[in-house]
Chains A and B, each alone.
Chain A
């Protein structure tokens, strides 16, 4: 459904953003306004608020409702082996280079429920590198991190994921990685052992380590250009020399001056290497 009784105005959006900053310390002012307005309008309509004022009141006064706000307004859609050609490039070109480091540290920034992290763990295990890797999985939304911990994904998705896995170069029987129970696929706990979870807000938190690969896919599309630029500087500061930065398939470094320190992978996948 697209028709909403209450359509948030620009002024109301600004009021909400200001409340969030003042009361909860979360800064959404540099998020894409078009997307935020749509998500908040949907939330107001789903939760059946009779007016904007009532929505605002609840958001200001109930911490639990603020948690719900974060869960509903951030977009947590994700997939395993999302974008076949991207994962093929990771497997064939990037992982063999990562293998040359004594220790591999990977940061999944905006990891959502972890499908991307488990995909990476599978690639590393198949390359016999998981034992010397650490996968830092961070997100602004603590609720999704709980799911990463479980490593349990909907069974209904496995056919699609198995297809993605095979098409991106996987050779095993994908179902050997999980056990099916009711509607759920529980991934092998050996895959989860190297995953380190933490809430981390790309808007306000700083660099916490140096990595050989940072994946931040389909997260910065929700930010405006100035915030994208700031976050890309944070990634630059968090990458080792010759480390890689991987973005979503419709994102780029073209709006930031940091791009002069990077070179794009030769097959034009959205993977850049820090060269200076």
Chain B
């Protein structure tokens, strides 16, 4: 492993085929961890208003859809709302932004990876999962250059390998998440 960090913020980005993986990641989180989580899913405004509720049954963390100016509190998962980008302020507060789509996406994973990296630097861990779009790859590069810890789903294990494959081909990865190594992921997040 390249370097050791002490993650304060975990940002997970996923598109098509990523929900199942998230449902395996969030049960690993333990209530007393000093960590906040932001999840960026590509989804339509009309879909899944009960997603947060569903996720909260699978984790010890609190789960909420992010509101503007929410403070990032440890032990909480913030879900990006449909149709808004999620940015992070220096005061560790969320700002929602409804500017133009990036990579045909709003929320865009790139936008949050980049913004989080600027504030959290090496206290940030990014995970990029399954998807059919290259959103997230540019953001991973920037996060990497600011010292973040980079995790990508093994394309061989992803339902839609395009997104993680683009990442693996273009960014130096610290950890490749397979179907077998979720326990290792848990140790990474908890140090």
Within 8 A of B (CB), among A133-188: none
| B97 close to A (CB within 8 Å) | yes
| A33 close to B (CB within 8 Å) | yes
| Contact stretch, chosen from A56-64, A95-103, A250-258 | A250-258
| B98 close to A (CB within 8 Å) | yes
Task: Kindly provide the distance from the CB of B82 to the nearest chain A CB, expressed in whole angstroms.
Answer: 10
Candidate in B66, B88, B89, B90 with the most chain A CB atoms within 10 angstroms: B89
Which residues from chain B contact A249 at a C-beta distance below 8 Å? 81
Which residues from chain B contact A252 at a C-beta distance below 8 Å? 67-68
- Contact code string A240-254 (vs B, CB < 8 Å = 1, else 0): 000000001111100
Chain B interface main SS type: mixed
Option from A221, A224, A225 in Cβ contact (under 8 Å) with B97: A221
The answer to whether B138 and A221 have CB atoms under 8 Å apart is: no
Which residues from chain B contact A218 at a C-beta distance below 8 Å? 98
Interface residues of chain B, those whose CB is within 8 Å of chain A, are 45-46, 65-69, 81, 84, 87-90, 93, 95-100, 102, 110-111, 114-115, 118-119, 138-139, 141-142
Task: Kindly provide the distance from the CB of A230 to the nearest chain B CB, expressed in whole angstroms.
Answer: 14
Option from A2, A35, A77, A225 in Cβ contact (under 8 Å) with B102: A2
* Nearest-neighbor residue (CB-CB) of B82 within chain A: A249
Q: How far is the CA of A175 from the CA of B7 in the complex (A)?
A: 53
Which residues from chain A contact B102 at a C-beta distance below 8 Å? 2
Option from B45, B67, B139 in Cβ contact (under 8 Å) with A251: B67
| A267 close to B (CB within 8 Å) | no
A-B complex: 8 closest residue pairs judged by Cβ atoms: A34-B87, A2-B138, A32-B95, A75-B99, A2-B110, A221-B68, A221-B96, A35-B97
* Nearest-neighbor residue (CB-CB) of A225 within chain B: B69
Q: How far is the CA of A250 from the CA of B84 in the complex (A)?
A: 9
| A1 close to B (CB within 8 Å) | yes
Interface residues of chain A, those whose CB is within 8 Å of chain B, are 1-3, 10, 32-35, 37-39, 75, 77, 83-84, 218, 220-222, 224-225, 228, 248-252, 255
What are 15 inter-chain pairs, A to B, with CB distance below 8 A?
Answer: A2-B110, A2-B138, A2-B139, A34-B115, A35-B95, A35-B97, A35-B99, A83-B45, A221-B96, A228-B69, A250-B65, A250-B81, A250-B96, A251-B68, A252-B68
The answer to whether B87 and A32 have CB atoms under 8 Å apart is: yes
Which residues from chain B contact A221 at a C-beta distance below 8 Å? 68, 84, 95-98
Option from B65, B81, B87, B93 in Cβ contact (under 8 Å) with A38: B87
The answer to whether A34 and B98 have CB atoms under 8 Å apart is: no
Task: Kindly provide the distance from the CB of A98 to the nearest chain B CB, expressed in whole angstroms.
Answer: 27
Task: Kindly provide the distance from the CB of A257 to the nearest chain B CB, expressed in whole angstroms.
Answer: 15
Q: How far is the CA of A91 from the CA of B25 in the complex (A)?
A: 42
The answer to whether B67 and A35 have CB atoms under 8 Å apart is: no
The answer to whether A34 and B95 have CB atoms under 8 Å apart is: yes
* Nearest-neighbor residue (CB-CB) of A219 within chain B: B98
Candidate in B46, B66, B67 with the most chain A CB atoms within 10 angstroms: B67
Give 11 A-B pairs besides A3-B141, A34-B88, A83-B45 with Cβ atoms closer than 8 angstroms. A10-B90, A32-B89, A35-B99, A39-B99, A75-B97, A75-B99, A77-B99, A218-B98, A221-B96, A248-B68, A250-B81
* Nearest-neighbor residue (CB-CB) of B66 within chain A: A250
* Nearest-neighbor residue (CB-CB) of A37 within chain B: B118
